[in-house]
């Protein structure tokens, strides 16, 4: 299994400062969870931590097998510069996303499985092997970040769902409720936001369900309480606020394919050599810095995922 090897994109010393700063933040959060500082802190961040019933689970133990080649993105950047069309098309949707109600939250498992079922998010969290991972994230818009996600391997959820051998895809959907997401009143978008992976992709070690970030529960704007994280693909594959997983033998039409098929496809693997029809994918702007760095094939995760695409060369794998 790849996680026992030291991958090529291992942490450089230049990343160490931000890492150390982040570790200090983790200690601070542990203090918050213990209630020692919470009363004194009037910040919205602390409020968010205390509001979420899963807060006591964080911070999680980091899985050291997942490392970065760059500094972590500043928490404020990663949690205030967002794409979440349900709450608007700008990057500043934090305020609007406060409307998202994250409890009760039920995940529905259906389609080609042994037995369909529903499970509440807190029961699910109690069953899953929770851990923290450092991942890069590359948006198709040519910006990127590097963040500590909390959550669990998607494979653990697939195993819980018990798909039939005939299932080929797992289809994931966001809620559809214009009363708590005014963006969903815009009729020309193909709501609900829908994404999908092949069963093989979903079983890859890197495929992850994010339940938190920076050692705390997932902020609403980042896709609370459950979001997909697939770092070798463009960010739009990482569907937020998931309410259902359906196993199917048919490839789903995804949200962005439904909107603009000529620009966005099903596979959407990161490739600097295949430009978006309207811009180059060669470089990326690193969020919170003035840096522009070269983009890597599969966002640097080729060692772990290239195998998944053998024999699929005729497919539109890259956008
Ligand atoms: N999921 C939903 N439901 N709605 C969205 O608009 N945007 C996608 C993805 N998941 C999106 C979504 C895009 S384009 C990106 S780049 C990432 O979420 C952004 O995640 P972040 O805001 O946590 O950085």
Q: What's the confidence (pLDDT) of residue 148? A: 98
Q: What's the confidence (pLDDT) of residue 235? A: 98
Q: With both helix axes pointing from N to C terminus, report the angle between 16-33 and 44-51 in degrees, rounded to the nearest 10.
A: 60
C-alpha of 56 from chain center: 21
User: Percentage helix, strand, coil, to 5, in the chain?
Assistant: 30, 25, 50
Listed as ranges, residues in the chain with pLDDT below 50 are 1-25, 27-42
**Which ligand 1 atom lies nearest to the CA of residue 85?**
6
Of 83, 141, 216, 241, the one to substitute when testing ligand 1's pocket (max ligand atoms within 8 A of C-beta) is 83
Q: What's the confidence (pLDDT) of residue 39? A: 40
CA 303, 218, 112, 192 dihedral sign is negative
Under DSSP, is residue 282 helix (H, G, I), strand (E, B) or coil?
Answer: coil
Of 223, 231, 242, the one to substitute when testing ligand 1's pocket (max ligand atoms within 8 A of C-beta) is 223
Q: Name the CA radius of gyration of the chain, rounded.
A: 19
Q: Is 82 in the pocket of ligand 1 (CB under 6 A)?
A: yes
pTM of the model: 0.87
- Ordered structural domains, the chain, with CATH: 13-308 (3.90.420.10)
Q: Token digits for 3?
A: 């996680």
Under DSSP, is residue 120 helix (H, G, I), strand (E, B) or coil?
Answer: strand
Q: What's the confidence (pLDDT) of residue 319? A: 83
Q: Token digits for 232?
A: 């070798």
Nearest Cα to Cα of residue 190 among 142, 278, 254, 95: 254
Residue nearest to atom 4 of ligand 1 (CA): 84
Distance CA 212, CA 151 (A): 6
For residue 110, count other CB atoms closer than 10 A to its CB. Answer: 15
What phi, psi does 55 have (nearest 5°)? Answer: -55, -35
Q: Is 232 in the pocket of ligand 1 (CB under 6 A)?
A: no
Residue 227 alpha carbon to ligand 1 centre in Å? 9
Q: DSSP secondary-structure letter at 279?
A: B
Q: What's the confidence (pLDDT) of residue 31? A: 41
Q: Is 271 in the pocket of ligand 1 (CB under 6 A)?
A: no
Q: What's the confidence (pLDDT) of residue 45? A: 53
Q: What's the confidence (pLDDT) of residue 51? A: 74
């Amino acid at each position: 299994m790849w996680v026992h090897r030291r991958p090529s994109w291992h942490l450089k010393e230049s990343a160490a400062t931000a890492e150390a700063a982040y570790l200090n933040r983790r200690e601070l959060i542990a203090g918050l969870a213990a209630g020692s500082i919470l009363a004194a802190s009037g910040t919205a961040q602390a409020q968010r931590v205390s509001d979420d019933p899963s807060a006591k689970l964080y911070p999680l133990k980091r899985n050291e097998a997942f490392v970065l080649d760059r500094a972590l993105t500043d928490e404020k950047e990663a949690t205030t510069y967002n794409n979440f069309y349900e709450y608007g098309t700008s990057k500043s949707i934090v305020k609007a996303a406060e409307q998202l109600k994250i409890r009760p939250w039920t995940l529905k498992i259906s389609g080609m499985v042994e037995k369909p079922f529903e499970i509440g998010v807190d029961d699910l969290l109690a069953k899953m092997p929770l851990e923290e991972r450092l991942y890069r994230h590359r948006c198709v818009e040519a910006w990127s970040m590097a963040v500590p996600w909390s959550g669990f391997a998607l494979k653990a959820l697939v195993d819980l769902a018990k798909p039939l051998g005939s299932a080929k895809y797992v289809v994931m959907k966001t809620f559809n409720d214009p009363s708590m997401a005014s963006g969903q009143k815009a009729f020309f978008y193909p709501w609900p936001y829908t994404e999908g992976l092949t069963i093989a992709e979903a079983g890859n070690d890197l495929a992850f369900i994010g339940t938190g970030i920076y050692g705390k529960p997932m902020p609403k704007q980042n896709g609370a309480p459950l979001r997909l994280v697939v770092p070798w693909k463009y960010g739009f594959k990482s569907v937020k606020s998931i309410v259902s997983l359906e196993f199917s033998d048919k490839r789903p039409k995804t949200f962005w394919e439904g909107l603009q098929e000529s620009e966005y496809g099903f596979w959407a693997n990161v490739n600097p050599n295949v430009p978006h029809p309207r811009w180059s994918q060669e470089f990326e702007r690193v969020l919170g810095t003035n840096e522009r760095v070269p983009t890597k094939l599969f966002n640097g995760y080729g060692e772990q995922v290239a195998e998944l695409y053998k024999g699929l060369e005729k497919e539109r794998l890259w956008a």
